[in-house]
Structure 1
């Protein structure tokens, strides 16, 4: 199989790259997500695909994206923060434009597929993958396969209510999404400049207020993890997304979990995804291979 163009649609950035037949990412880049304007979103997408086509032999296109995704048809009833794709079929739109086979899958499921195939979930029959990005993505890998739910909505951890301290009940997207930490940090620093996760964690080493801010944010993540563990009793929890590269995140999650009553009865390894920020793209590639094998 020749090269596959892979995309990971995020609410802030579109990650894209090329994966060869051996499953290695041989080139990768990003551009800013156009979340609301479909025409602009598609124009940038089509242009990126054509750029790859001019330099490489392309077998197809694999897409990881948020929302409720029908992997057989490509239809997305909702696409998370990318409202331009709500009720749209990116698979059909792309196949019509570039005449290449396209496969789509939910981003949390893609991260789980990458980890199950060659990452930190190898050998696990039941595990949970939680991806931390603009919002919270997830996958329930149960008894050897992805559990999708009756209406393709399983694994939407971001919808779990984790904050009841005010009249407005907040879900994990709003409390545990990395964008929430960035917003609070920028407010504290009184800046509108772009902020990277590494900058916040580094600042926490010398600023107690920033450390407290991070710990409070992690509380919402830990609460969600605890609830998932006592509900599904998986073998392992994997944390993905770019911020999972920060060792303190995983250390603090595990520390906080030990403070929960009964955690000792349900305790399992909570570890970062091997592929961190690349898990979505690699998982999309594995999904593409599986779907094409079935069709051919």
Structure 2
């Protein structure tokens, strides 16, 4: 791809617990380069040095406008302080933005990873024409983001979108939030308990769906799981009245997911009063990088 002399380029990172993905993107959202490296969580210094090394390497090949970082956990996008850094525990209580500004002579933008996945849908996904939408991710936990009145909602302490903390069962069996009873990992945990399978034994969600066809107890377990997700969707629709709710995570590509969720949602008496489309996210592996590109471009407009 030919790079125009005046083309603005952005180096975007998606920091995960296993790998750090990175890409050089144009303002037209094209990837000029893409790669990844292992997330080394031995110490804060090692993690930081790996990041700076990659930035310096890319800087030697491209004239960059800004650096964007999609980051896990509770992150203040204004100050850069990470109260909680998800699976990268050596960064709890750190300020990555401040550390980078001491080493890198480029503007750095940082944002929570679930919020970035939400912004990716607004940038070039299934919400480009929406001013109000919700993105909910279903995976190891339940997360997501809120985009309301054409703006990302961060919340007072930058914890908006922590949908996994919602209580949806009335605490009739003790405190169980959506992380525990509506995530994919929660489903797998319940399946192992039902089948007396050791917790350390690897099970894929696909196996549970297949097993539910011939095992009525597994089918009941799966039905309840879908009910739990539908309660979360209903609460979000009732709270913010969005144009649509998008679902992310590996399971979101299953066609039967939406048929089964629609069936459960229609069992809730008031759903017909607040009903909104529930659709899959478009972006998956590149969502973090595309979402932080949105933030970089948004800040570029504000600078003008």
Deviations 1:140-189 (Å, cap 9, x if unpaired)?
Answer: 2222212232332222212212343533x122233333443455667866
> CA separation of 1:255/1:184 partners in 2, compared to 1, >3 Å: closer, same or farther?
same
Aligned residues: 292
Deviation of the 1:193 alpha carbon: 7.6
Deviation of the 1:63 alpha carbon: 1.3
> CA separation of 1:28/1:186 partners in 2, compared to 1, >3 Å: closer, same or farther?
farther
Q: State the partner residue of 1:7.
A: 13
Deviation of the 1:271 alpha carbon: 0.5
Correspondence 1:96 to 2:102:
yes
Deviation of the 1:226 alpha carbon: 0.9
Deviation of the 1:46 alpha carbon: 3.1
Deviations 1:18-63 (Å, cap 9, x if unpaired)?
Answer: 3223112344444554567423432433344344345444333211
TM-score normalised by L of structure 1: 0.82
Which SS does the other structure have where 1:71 is aligned? Answer: coil
CA distance in 2, matches of 1:90, 1:222: 37
Contact 2:131–2:149 under 8 Å retained in 1 = yes
> Bigger CA drift: 121-130 or 177-186?
177-186
Contact 2:123–2:290 under 8 Å retained in 1 = no
Which SS does the other structure have where 1:46 is aligned? Answer: helix
Q: State the partner residue of 1:145.
A: 151
- Give the CA RMSD over aligned residues: 3.1
User: Is there any run of 5+ residues in structure 2 with no aligned partner, and where?
Assistant: 1-6
Greater C-alpha radius of gyration:
2
Q: State the partner residue of 2:268.
A: 260
> CA separation of 1:105/1:55 partners in 2, compared to 1, >3 Å: closer, same or farther?
same
> CA separation of 1:179/1:291 partners in 2, compared to 1, >3 Å: closer, same or farther?
farther
TM-score normalised by L of structure 2: 0.80
Contact 1:66–1:137 under 8 Å retained in 2 = no
